[in-house]
Amino acid sequence: MGSNAQSPDQDWRRDRLAELLQHEQFGGNKAALGRALGYENGAHVRQMLADERPITEKTVARVHAMLGGKFRGWFDRAGLKRAAPAWPVIVVTIV
């Protein structure tokens, strides 16, 4: 584990950043997400996901502001509404 393990929010933020990376806007492309955050490439994103660099309040603010605020609230825990999964959900009732 990286040097940022002391912060209880880092695991949450890393999970949310990983989910953001998989959003259709970025399709898993670290460079695309990095550029949207104002970086030259995806190295900064890779380092945050690998716990080599903390996900700071500044980064959270950048995510919430990027692309005209499309992802405003992405890191908010209160009122978090998860998007429907991309795969079909099958509910089976056994009686």
pLDDT at residue 90 in the model: 61
7-56: pLDDT as tens digits: 668 999 999 999 999 999 999 999 999 999 999 999 999 999 999 999 99
What is the pTM assigned to this prediction? 0.73
For residue 34, give every residue at least 6 positions away whose Cβ sits within 8 Å of its Cβ, in sequence order, or none. Answer: 40, 41, 42, 43, 44, 45
